Amino acid sequence: MKILLLGSGGREHALAWKISKSLLCSQLYIAPGNAGTAMCGQNIAIADNDIASIKQFILEKNIDMLVVGPEQALVDGIYDAVKTDTGTQHVLVIGPSKAGAQLEGSKDYAKEFMQEYHIPTAAYRTFTADEYEQAVAFLHTMQAPYVLKADGLAAGKGVIITDNIHQAETELHAMFMENKFGTSGHKVVIEQYLKGIELSVFVLTDGNSYLILPSAKDYKRIGEGDTGLNTGGMGSVSPVPFADEEFMQKVEERIIKPTIQGLQHRDIIYHGFLFIGLMNVNGDPYVIEYNVRMGDPETESVMPRINNDLVELFLHTAHGSLHQDTINISNQCVASIMLVSGGYPEKYEKGKIITRCEEVVDSQIFHAGTRRNEQGELLTAGGRVMTITTMADTLEKALAISNKNAETVQFDKKYYRKDIGLDVCK
Ligand code: AMP
Ligand code: GLY
């Protein structure tokens, strides 16, 4: 099978690495990819949200399967665009329809969906820009910390959490009146703050049957001890020790099953990954958000633990026959530490030469923001540069090896958190 994978992050390198191990994959293309994906297949210079060019490439190369890594193309309707065109409708697409992608594309849609299907989540209300006064009045009925969410995609930056009511009002004003997140912020969800520990649960579904993939914990803040600015993710571990059988049973019964039933009830075509961001509140799971794709850097810790042939699972997902599969998860533990460019998530420099990757032993490097120059040298090309991913008998061992190798790899202004996973090892 000829497969086209969209995206260019560490998630896509981990997916490409796993896809390229499948005997069912004869050729893998990645658009646009990075220096890591280029080791698993052929990178193509097409943006991952350029639907017209992607369709043209599918026709040119006779692609059999399209795997969509990031959310933008899904929210823009790439599934429908491929499936409603007689030239490309035979192509298997891993990713939900545009209707399904609303679970990530609109926070208000996701909240309303959860409310209808009685899925536990924070209490909320949604306001539009012409309801600024009502929104402020509602804020005053809430307790700190205040949680504001721009309705649409905002490159992961659309959530504001603050203890200060005046700042909450200022942020609301900025979203409604000053276009802080463009049209994404013209509708805002204000919700109750949930106190607990977060984890990421991943499901692969054909819209009827589903497989629960390994869970992971993501470390979002830039600083050690979960301090400082939010980032795309500074590291991840899998499994998550507190997500034991009892907890996961609650997740499946209270969240996964009603979510799938909701999709069925709404006649939503969904052949792909569903990422459920959860808060464990005193042993009970609450949904913080849905994403309609895998997480990054969770994928880097999840893929190594899946023993199944991923392409075979994708085939069954696209054909609606996932009921015949069982997931085979390794008992080993995986830790991924993200190396980032100094300054990230604010201003940082690119184009730094990366060295000593060849000295990394016992870990896998998943590239994120990397590229090669004409001389073949590896360069940084983004804020998040690569994960150092290690699989071992225990999380402690995996972390120790990842930390050692994170120290080995060199580039100017390299930064990484040395405390990834320590909280769950206690
Ligand atoms: P999101 O962009 O939806 O992933 O939100 C970013 C982060 O904000 C989440 O990973 C949580 O850490 C935090 N967050 C979002 N909603 C809530 C909430 N209702 N209560 C507490 N923390 C939240
Ligand atoms: N790691 C969180 C995300 O991918 O959204």
Residue 234 one-letter amino acid = M
To test ligand 1's pocket by mutation, which of 159, 197, 219, 221 has the most ligand atoms within 8 angstroms of CB? 159
Strand partners, 372: 378
Which ligand has an atom closest to residue 297 CA? 2
Q: How far is the CA of 288 from the centre of ligand 1 (A)?
A: 6
Q: Rounded to an integer, what distance in angstroms lies between the CA atom of residue 117 and that of residue 146?
A: 25
Q: Residues 182-204: what's their mean pLDDT?
A: 91
Rg of the chain taking only CA atoms, in angstroms? 21
Six token digits for residue 314: 């994708």
Closest ligand to the CA of 198: 1
Is 90 exceeded by the pLDDT of residue 249? yes
**197-324 belongs to which homologous superfamily?**
ATP-grasp fold, B domain (3.30.470.20)
* pLDDT the model gives residue 155: 77
Give ∠ CA 115-116-119 in degrees, rounded to 5.
55
Stretch 86-96: mean pLDDT: 97
Give me the pLDDT at residue 186, please: 83
Find all residues with CB under 8 Å of 70, minimum gap 6, and list them: 6, 7, 9, 11, 48, 49, 293
Q: Which residue puts its alpha carbon closest to atom 5 of ligand 2? A: 295
Tell me which architecture the domain covering 333-425 has in CATH. Answer: Alpha-Beta Complex (3.90)
pLDDT in the model for residue 375:
96
Give residue 65 CA to ligand 1 midpoint distance, Å: 33
Cα–ligand 2 centroid distance for 300 (angstroms): 11
**CATH class, 2-96 region:** alpha beta
Binding pocket residue ranges, ligand 2, CB within 6 Å? 218, 233, 291, 295-296, 298
pLDDT band at 266 (very low <50, low <70, confident <90, very high): very high
Could you give the angle at which helices 98-105 and 107-116 cross, rounded to 10 degrees? 100
Please check the confidence at residue 217 and state whether its pLDDT lies above 80.
yes
User: How many whole angstroms from 336 Cα to the centroid of ligand 2?
Assistant: 14
- Ligand closest to Cα of 147 equals 1
Q: In the structure, which protein residues have their CB atom closer than 6 angstroms to any atom of ligand 1?
A: 122, 147, 156, 159, 161, 191, 193-194, 198, 220, 277, 288-289
Residue 393 has pLDDT above 90, yes or no: yes
Q: 96 C-alpha vs ligand 2 centroid, how far in Å?
A: 17
**Coil, helix or strand for 333?**
strand
Residue 62, pLDDT score: 98
Residue closest via CA to ligand 2's atom 3 equals 295
pLDDT in the model for residue 154? 80
- Asked if the model's pLDDT at residue 185 lies above 80, the reply is no
Cα–ligand 2 centroid distance for 312 (angstroms): 25
Rounded Cα–Cα distance for residues 8 and 370 (Å): 9
What is residue 335's predicted lDDT score, i.e. its pLDDT?
98
Distance (Å) from CA 229 to ligand 2 centroid: 15
At residue 7 the predicted structure's pLDDT band, cuts being 50, 70 and 90, is: very high
- Type of residue found at 235: G
- Tokens found for residue 149: 């969410």
Percent of all residues in the chain with a pLDDT value above 70, rounded to a whole number: 100
- Atom index in ligand 2 nearest the CA of residue 295 equals 4
Quote the mean pLDDT of the chain.
Answer: 96
195, pLDDT greater than 90: yes
Report the Cα–Cα distance between both ends of the chain, in Å, rounded: 45
To test the pocket of ligand 2, the residue of 107, 159, 199, 275 to mutate (highest count of ligand atoms within 8 Å of its CB) is 275
Please name which ligand lies nearest the alpha carbon of 146: 1
Q: Of 68, 104, 237, 291, which is best to mutate to test ligand 2, by the most ligand atoms within 8 angstroms of its C-beta?
A: 291
User: What is the percent of the chain with per-residue pLDDT over 90, rounded to a whole number?
Assistant: 88
Q: Is the pLDDT of residue 370 over 90?
A: yes
DSSP 3-state percent helix, strand, coil across the chain (nearest 5): 35, 30, 35
Q: Is the pLDDT of residue 289 over 90?
A: yes
Select from 240, 279, 298 the residue to mutate for testing ligand 2; criterion: most ligand atoms less than 8 Å from CB. Answer: 298
Q: CATH for 124-191? A: 3.30.1490.20
Minimum-distance ligand to the CA of 154?
1
Give the residue whose CA is nearest to atom 2 of ligand 2: 295
Reported as a pLDDT band with limits 50, 70 and 90, residue 183 is confident
Please tell me whether the peptide bond between 32 and the residue prior to it is cis, using omega within 30 degrees of 0: yes
Alpha carbon distance 333, 384 (integer Å): 23
Residue 381 has a pLDDT of 98
Ligand nearest to the CA of 10: 2
Q: Quick one: which of 416, 276, 409 has its CA closest to 352?
A: 409
Instruction: Average the pLDDT over 378-382 and give the result.
Output: 98
177 pLDDT band, cuts 50/70/90, is confident
Cβ pair 131, 304 in contact under 8 A: no
Residue type, 350: K
Task: Return the pLDDT at 387.
Answer: 98
The strand pairing partners of 31, in sequence order, are 6
Tokens of 274: 């569903």
pLDDT in the model for residue 178: 81
* Domain residue limits, the chain: 2-96, 124-191, 197-324, 333-425
pLDDT of residue 380: 98
Q: Is the pLDDT of residue 184 over 90?
A: no
Mean pLDDT along residues 263-280: 98
- pLDDT at residue 66, as a whole number: 98
| Å from CA of 322 to ligand 2 middle | 25
